[in-house]
Structure 1
């Protein structure tokens, strides 16, 4: 079959367009014949561009597709694509790191196999790792702040010293030296007094230290004895005993059991009170009229008469 010039021209144009699209995407690092999956992650700020690499253990496995600002959350959302053969779970972390000393950042996938497998379109958690340059910059910044504070303190000290010796006359300088000598002499006297006190009480200090040493040893022995005495079991048993005692007291308070009825039963109390009174009257009557109860003393029965 013979094709016309128009058809050949159209085929060549379509082939040229296809080659142009393929070449353009190839130069951008995208292979049209390679299947990829798209995932998302978010950062508090943007330090990436579309040419930033996506790596796993230092190996390039994908590229950034898009970087947009989310107006709702206030975060930077990054979409990236990786080869569909790469499998990892939703617990995997996307780490932004510095790729070199000259700047530039990339994304590393810290693969985790725990949990549910990630699917295309999932939003993965992120983290930021500061590199050597950023760490050194922060360290030097802190050193600079501390150095500024030190220099300010030094300047204040020098101003105070200048005010102290502002009198340039010989009399002012002599007076300053004399006051300094008095201060040093007072300090020397104080030091001598402290040394004298220590020398005079050397034996007492030694005795105190010996006593402290003995007390420390006794405390160590006591601590060991308490540890070996199984104090926890003793306290637990005591706690159990107290609980039982509380139960018994609660039972008595409710009037249950013999003891509870004895303390709470008013009728029993009245009966005991009546019996006590009758026993008291009986003993009193025995003392007053013993012949009523002992037939040896009197053969005639004497009836009881209540007073």
Structure 2
């Protein structure tokens, strides 16, 4: 299908008109394809402009769309838009606040967080927050009084200082300067003596510094030798040996092994003690009656006799 020249011309004209309309609205700060939500509020007076931002917690989320004076109520009606992603309560407050020291104002949404979500076209209550300049104007009288008191105190201080400078008495500035001069002279003498002391002991100080350098070098060598000697392995082996000793002590305490049984078994200890006593008596009897144990050479048997207490004490 062939399109005629007249149809093409009409399409181009309509496209140009649409583009001009879109460009005009864009330059005015409006967007034909903007899907932002629109809300309304009002103030007793107008302190906003079409470029004033709408913020929440310091973040810009919208702008002023229309400022219109309502002749019936005598108030300024404000229409503003915010991004559709923002969900806030219908009972929130739109606060007018000062955006900077140059007098710029803006709107801030103070959320109520009560679960009643505002819808596009709702009316939101408003309030006015005093700006920084207004606060300074209210406090300017107090600042002026404090500044005047400070200036009067400074004037009194300068007057007393001037009197001190022109004082001709012994308690005046001349005596203070003289004492300061004497102090400086004493300090100069001390510094001179310290300098002389350092000069006289220059060789000793150099020797001390040299010895310190040697000691530092030897200490570095010692540390290097310790590192080369695998001190960490030695400490590790020592830890293993202590662990084994702990295990051995634990086994002995639990009665494991011969030594453990000897430590824990009272009957075995008593038997060993009795055997030791009998062996002691046998040795004593051999010492007292050696002829009794010569049965190999003699057929006569000598009966055993208990040793007396005196013999036990003597041996």
Q: What TM-score results when the alignment is normalised by the length of structure 2?
A: 0.49
Q: How does 1:144-159 map to 2 (within 5 A)?
A: none
Structure 1 residue 220: Cα displacement:
1.2
Q: Which residue of 2 aligns with 1:193?
A: 193
Q: How does 1:135-146 map to 2 (within 5 A)?
A: none
Structure 1 residue 214: Cα displacement:
0.8
Q: What residue ranges of structure 1 are gaps of 5+ in the alignment?
A: 1-18, 34-42, 52-62, 75-102, 104-154
Cα distance between partner residues in 2 of 1:188 and 1:175: 20
Q: What is the RMSD of the two structures over their aligned residues, measured on CA atoms?
A: 4.1
Count of residues paired in the alignment: 185
Note closer, same or farther for the CA distance 1:164–1:261 as it changes in structure 2 (3 Å cut).
farther
Cα distance between partner residues in 2 of 1:226 and 1:248: 31
Cα distance between partner residues in 2 of 1:164 and 1:235: 77
Structure 1 residue 205: Cα displacement:
1.4
Q: Which residue of 1 aligns with 2:166?
A: 168
Cα distance between partner residues in 2 of 1:252 and 1:44: 77
**Contact 2:167-2:173 at 8 Å conserved across structures:** yes
Q: Which residue of 2 aligns with 1:257?
A: 257
Cα distance between partner residues in 2 of 1:200 and 1:298: 103
**Contact 1:291-1:297 at 8 Å conserved across structures:** no
Q: After superposition, give the CA deviation of every residue in 1:83-112 in whole Å (9 maximum; x if it has no partner).
A: xxxxxxxxxxxxxxxxxxxx9xxxxxxxxx
Q: What residue ranges of structure 2 are gaps of 5+ in the alignment?
A: 1-17, 36-54, 64-81, 93-103, 105-152, 308-315
**Contact 2:255-2:264 at 8 Å conserved across structures:** yes
Structure 1 residue 216: Cα displacement:
0.7
Cα distance between partner residues in 2 of 1:250 and 1:44: 72
Note closer, same or farther for the CA distance 1:206–1:70 as it changes in structure 2 (3 Å cut).
farther
Secondary structure at 2:196's aligned position in 1? Answer: helix
Note closer, same or farther for the CA distance 1:305–1:196 as it changes in structure 2 (3 Å cut).
same
1:48 to 35, 60, 63: 60
